[in-house]
Amino acid sequence: MHILFLRESYKNSSIRYMFKINENYLHLSRSYLFSTISKKVDEFALSNPNADIIRLGIGDVTQPLSPSVIDSMHKSVDEMSRKETFRGYGPEQGYKFLREKIATTDFQKRGVKIDADEIFISDGSKSDTGNICDILGDSNTIAITNPVYPVYLDTTIMRLGNSNNLMLLECNEENGFLPDIPVKSIDVVYLCYPNNPTGTVMNRIKLKQWVDWALYNNSLILFDAAYEAYIKDDEIPKSIFEIENAENCAIEFRSFSKNAGFTGLRCSYTVVPKALKTMSSNGEKQSLNMLWGRRQATKFNGAPYIVQRAAEAVYSIEGQKEVGDFISYYMNNADVIRNGLIKKGWTVYGGENAPYIWLKCPDENDSWSFFDQLLEKCHIVGTPGVGFGSNGEGFFRLTAFNSYEKTVEAVERINTHL
Ligand code: PLP
């Protein structure tokens, strides 16, 4: 009866009886960059069935998982098959065996004081960089760079709408694609170094300026270090926590996706230092470590045991060597692209401590017309810079995530046809 009544009223209802959506989603850009690219590539492939297309577009790894990772997964699959060793729900923050390995290997051995209980294992930095907003207030001003990894922008829009609270930090050729320290007050800033899409890195001096700025202004830095493993230069910090006092103003995101090829397996971690505190409106100090722990315990049931064992294997002696080889393989590709384009006289950023090469489109082409030229003349797919923000117009991203042979061939084709 009750249900019928509701249905009747719904039939005759005006709009006020309808459930509501989060209308912030209506402010999101409708044409998703990578679906537009794949539509264009599919059309090209259909009309050019013999074209051997080389994909240097999407930032996904291509090398298979390493032997240590696979061995560890086989072992843990076997454990799951036996009553005595079967695992059900694990700790939401991640297993101790992995959190401790991370704390010692990625931080303490490098002289950075981060403890296991400051590390939260997750299923990806994409989700964590978005979900972190759950523990932050809606009235915060949030800054992102332009160009930017689109997840920070879309997550912020989903939460705040097209609000005045979203600010852009302009990155361009004049500042070497590194944002200037803001003069306006900003509560939260997303920084990503090594950067996707520009491949640029932030040195110790510049990162210290950001930390000092955040400490002075009581701001929070959300530092995405998904590509730290690609840093070759010892002068470039791999973690924001290498900077003095950063534990009082920063959260760091790390992923096994790009260093160990876990893009399909899914494992990452977020570092929320215990020292990181802010004041709630009642004047009490609040710990972000406690809040994030509470958020994860409520909305997340932990990364799979098998996957966490796989991530643990990355820290074995063999695993570390394999990761090193993995990175060298891609960075060799990055060298091939970077050097090839520089030789051609093109202006190139990134690619030295990052798997991304950010090039200035030659002949004053805009990003999409260069995309079309590269596809039509060279049968190569890349990513138009403008897809990452207005400052990306006139720029283009190529990635090192393909085989060495294909990468060499791509550069040869560019030399011959452009
Ligand atoms: N952060 C940046 C800057 C990325 O480029 C990516 C993936 O491309 C991610 C995070 C996502 O990482 P994950 O695979 O851990 O979700």
Please give the pLDDT value at position 7. Answer: 53
Q: pLDDT tens digits for 87-144?
A: 999 999 999 999 999 999 999 999 999 999 999 999 999 999 999 999 999 999 999 9
Query: Mean pLDDT for the chain?
Result: 94
Backbone φ, ψ for residue 250 (5° rounding): -140, 150
**Distance from chain centroid for Cα 225:** 8
Fold of 25-64+318-417: Aspartate Aminotransferase, domain 1 (3.90.1150)
Backbone φ, ψ for residue 269 (5° rounding): -150, 155
Side chain identity at 329, as an amino acid letter?
Y
Backbone φ, ψ for residue 128 (5° rounding): -65, -40
pLDDT band for position 59 (cuts 50, 70, 90): confident
Q: pLDDT tens digits for 237-295?
A: 999 999 999 999 999 999 999 999 999 999 999 999 999 999 999 999 999 999 999 99
Choosing from 33, 34, 123, 126 the residue with most ligand 1 atoms within 8 A of its CB, the one to mutate for a pocket test is 126
Percent share of the chain, pLDDT over 70: 95
Region of residue 329 (left: phi > 0; alpha: psi -120 to 50; beta: else): alpha
Q: Is 152 near ligand 1, meaning CB less than 6 Å away?
A: no
Q: pLDDT tens digits for 352-385?
A: 999 999 999 999 999 999 999 999 999 999 999 9
The answer to whether residues 166 and 157 touch, using CB atoms and an 8 Å cutoff, is yes
Region of residue 121 (left: phi > 0; alpha: psi -120 to 50; beta: else): beta
Fold of 67-317: Aspartate Aminotransferase; domain 2 (3.40.640)
What is the rounded CA–CA span in Å between residue 338 and residue 248?
37
Backbone φ, ψ for residue 162 (5° rounding): -85, 60
Residue 12 CA to ligand 1 centre (angstroms): 47
Q: Is 131 near ligand 1, meaning CB less than 6 Å away?
A: no
Residue 255 CA to ligand 1 centre (angstroms): 7
Q: Is 367 near ligand 1, meaning CB less than 6 Å away?
A: no
Residue 181 CA to ligand 1 centre (angstroms): 24
Instruction: Take atom 3 of ligand 1 and give the residue whose Cα is closest.
Output: 196
Please give the pLDDT value at position 307. Answer: 98
Instruction: Take atom 12 of ligand 1 and give the residue whose Cα is closest.
Output: 125
Question: Which one, of 110, 54, 52, lies nearest residue 406 by Cα?
Answer: 54
Q: Is 149 near ligand 1, meaning CB less than 6 Å away?
A: yes
Residue 260 CA to ligand 1 centre (angstroms): 13
What is the rounded CA–CA span in Å between residue 16 and residue 390?
38
Please give the pLDDT value at position 15. Answer: 55
**Distance from chain centroid for Cα 100:** 23
Residue 343 CA to ligand 1 centre (angstroms): 31
What is the rounded CA–CA span in Å between residue 222 and residue 240?
10
Choosing from 151, 265, 307 the residue with most ligand 1 atoms within 8 A of its CB, the one to mutate for a pocket test is 151
CA atoms within 13 A on the CB side of 275: 12
With H, G, I as helix, E, B as strand and everything else as coil, classify residue 192. Answer: strand
Q: Is 122 near ligand 1, meaning CB less than 6 Å away?
A: no
Residue 245 CA to ligand 1 centre (angstroms): 26
Residue 257 CA to ligand 1 centre (angstroms): 7
Taking residues 22-32, what's their average pLDDT? Answer: 85
**Distance from chain centroid for Cα 352:** 18
Taking residues 326-354, what's their average pLDDT? Answer: 97
Instruction: Take atom 1 of ligand 1 and give the residue whose Cα is closest.
Output: 226
What is the rounded CA–CA span in Å between residue 75 and residue 72?
5
pLDDT band for position 185 (cuts 50, 70, 90): confident
Indicate the domain borders of the chain: 25-64+318-417, 67-317
Q: Is 196 near ligand 1, meaning CB less than 6 Å away?
A: yes
Taking residues 84-89, what's their average pLDDT? Answer: 97
Count, residues in the chain: 418
Q: Is 192 near ligand 1, meaning CB less than 6 Å away?
A: yes
Please give the pLDDT value at position 29. Answer: 81
Residue 47 CA to ligand 1 centre (angstroms): 33
What is the rounded CA–CA span in Å between residue 259 and residue 47?
37
What lies within 8 Å, CB to CB, of 77 at 6+ separation is 306
Encoded tokens for 317 = 């002696």
> What is this structure's pTM?
0.95
DSSP string, 359-381: EEPGGG--HHHHHHHIIIII-EE
Surface-to-core class of residue 172, CB atoms within 10 Å of its CB (0-12 exposed, 13-18 middle, 19+ buried): middle
Q: Is 198 near ligand 1, meaning CB less than 6 Å away?
A: no
Encoded tokens for 388 = 């990452």
Checking if the pLDDT of 18 tops 90, the result is no
Instruction: Take atom 5 of ligand 1 and give the residue whose Cα is closest.
Output: 196
Backbone φ, ψ for residue 384 (5° rounding): -65, 130
Surface-to-core class of residue 345, CB atoms within 10 Å of its CB (0-12 exposed, 13-18 middle, 19+ buried): exposed
With H, G, I as helix, E, B as strand and everything else as coil, classify residue 383. Answer: strand
Q: Is 72 near ligand 1, meaning CB less than 6 Å away?
A: no
Checking if the pLDDT of 218 tops 90, the result is yes
The answer to whether residues 190 and 159 touch, using CB atoms and an 8 Å cutoff, is no
